[in-house]
Structures are given as structure tokens and as C-alpha cells.
Amino acid sequence: MNRKQLFNILKIVISLVLLAFIFYSIDTQALIEVLKAADPAWLVAATVVMFITVVVRAWRWQILLTSIGVPVPIGELTAIYLIGFLFNNLLPSGLGGDAIRGIEINRYSERISDTITSLVVERFLGLFALQTIALIALVTNWGTVPNAVGYFTIAIFFGGLVGGALLINRSLYLKLRQQVGPFRWLTEKKAIGNMFESFQRYPLPALGGAYLVSVLFNLIHIAMYMFIGFAVRAPVSPVQYAIIVPITSLVLLIPISFAGLGLRENAFQQLYGQIGVLPEVAVAMSLLVYVIGNVCTGIVGGVVYLMRGARNVVSENR
């Protein structure tokens, strides 16, 4: 058993421990009742919206790839995205969603670095656009969430803003590397250095276009959370969703659990609980987000993956 397999087993164990803690600390019968009473119409709407976000993500990815000379049809990118959901959210393998997306898209480029950079840039733009929405919602409606949540949102936004300025300004980047020892030491780390190099390969118009599409994607993504909240009658306003969803998205980047299970439920209970949502309702929301955002997309991704495999077999036998 290699290190990746051990790490994946550890993530599953952590998810099970976190879920056990959650279910021990809440009224599980009340949770079941909340789930049983969920409005199916809103859940269907949330599912439709989730699949729309996949297409919008593919559009964003297409903008970035086209700008570096890797044109790929949006239908193909949507299919690759869905396959990525399968590996990322349903299969406890060492091959994550981004890794499988990189493998699939490599067929369209002779340079592996092209595909890797597009994944890195796409992820950063999505997160920064989400934080932009959160900041606008916060400053126009201060007081709708606890102050600690508000200050955290501001800090994350400006941290991303400074990071983004460094990522796209090569002259500033090189100057800091020459004159600031800690910055040079930091960017000598392979992952961080690659991220800087990745951004600087893309023209500003492409980054701007992908950023605007990211804003659209995140607005639709927040709407999915709202629809799930409507389904379980959670007393949460659209502004509160716009502030809290970015924080839970950041929490889920911590790679210590399987598909975010357990980590997501704890984050929902803590954050939505601060604005008056009952623990059972908050956990119900998190479970429904997982089912709609992870399981449903993963299942469709599995169908796409099987169909592509069957298609390749037919092509080889001709």
C-alpha cells in the first residue's frame, strides 16, 4: 500500500469520525424529518442549476485554453468536467478530479504544462470571483452576519487581491524575487512558483473574460445553495448565502476528508448556526449540497466516462 492509498484511507476515516460527531451532537430524528419534508420542486431546481454551473465552468476553461492555443469544444470540456466530478467525489482513488481533467485534456495539447496551468488559473479565478461577491454583499449589508465572519471575508478578499496583482504583474514579481528574501524563498517552492509562472502565460483579456465568467458561475452556484435552503425552509437571506458560501468553499479546500464529508457538515452547522439556523436544518442543507453537487454530478460523470470508453472500444474495432 503506497502513501496515496494510506492518505485516502485516512481521509475516509476522518470523514466518518466527523460525521459520527455531528450525528451524535444533533437530534438525528429531527434531521430525518427535515429531509423528509424538503420541497422536491426546489431540490429539482437546485439540481438543474448545478448542472448549469458545470457548463459555465467549461466555458471559463475554454476561454483560458483558447488563449494559449488549445481550442476545445465546450461540449467536450463539459464532459471532462463531469468525469472529474466522478473521480473527485465518488471514487476514493489517488486520482483526483483535477488530475483526471488534466489527463483527458492532454489529448488536445502537445504540452502538458498548458493543461496544468489552465487548471491552476481557473481555480484561482473562481475563488477570487467568489470572494468578490462576498465582499460586495458584506459592505452593502453589514450586520447580516457576525462581525468575525465579516472581518474574515475582508481579509480573504484583500489577500486574494494582493496575490492576484503579484500573479499577473511579472515585473513586480521579478523585482520582489530579487529584493525580498522571504518572497524568493516562498516562490522557490515548486507549487507556488508554478502558480506564478502559470498566470503570467495568459493575456490579460483572457484572464478578465474568465474572471467575469467566474462571477457568473458563482452567482448561479450561490443560487443552488439558496434553492436547497428554500427546500428545507432555512431562515437565510440571499445576502447571507453570498457571504457564507465563499467561506464554506474555502473550508472545503482543506484536503483532510473524503469529498468534504464531515468537514462540510461541521462548517455548515457552525456558520449557519451563527445566524439562527437550527443544527438539524444546517446539517440537512450540507447533506443535500453533497448529494446534488457531488453525487448527482458524479453519477452523470460515470455515465459519460462509460460512454466514452464504449465509444473508444467501437473505434478500435472498426
* Stated pTM of the model: 0.85
C-alpha cell at 235: 431562515
Q: What's the CA gap between 302 and 305, in Å, rounded?
A: 5
Query: What SS3 class is residue 42?
Result: helix
Looking at residue 191, what is its pLDDT? 66
Task: Indicate left, alpha or beta for 257 from its phi (over 0: left) and psi (-120 to 50: alpha).
Answer: beta
Task: Indicate left, alpha or beta for 69 from its phi (over 0: left) and psi (-120 to 50: alpha).
Answer: left
Looking at residue 102, what is its pLDDT? 79
Within the chain, where are the H helices? 3-25, 28-36, 40-67, 74-89, 97-105, 112-140, 147-168, 170-179, 181-187, 190-199, 204-231, 238-251, 263-273, 279-290, 297-317
Residue type for position 218: N
User: Which value, in Å, is the radius of gyration of the alpha carbons in the chain?
Assistant: 20
Q: Other C-beta atoms within 10 Å of 11: how many?
A: 20
Looking at residue 308, what is its pLDDT? 79
Per-residue confidence in pLDDT tens, the chain, 318 aa: 667 667 778 888 888 899 999 999 999 999 999 999 999 999 999 999 999 999 999 999 999 999 888 889 999 999 999 998 888 776 554 446 777 787 788 787 766 666 777 888 888 888 889 989 999 988 888 877 888 888 888 888 888 888 777 777 778 778 877 888 887 787 777 767 776 776 777 888 998 999 999 999 999 999 999 999 999 999 999 999 999 998 888 888 887 888 788 889 999 999 999 899 999 999 999 999 999 998 999 899 999 988 877 555 334 444
Q: What's the CA gap between 257 and 106, in Å, rounded?
A: 28
Looking at residue 92, what is its pLDDT? 52
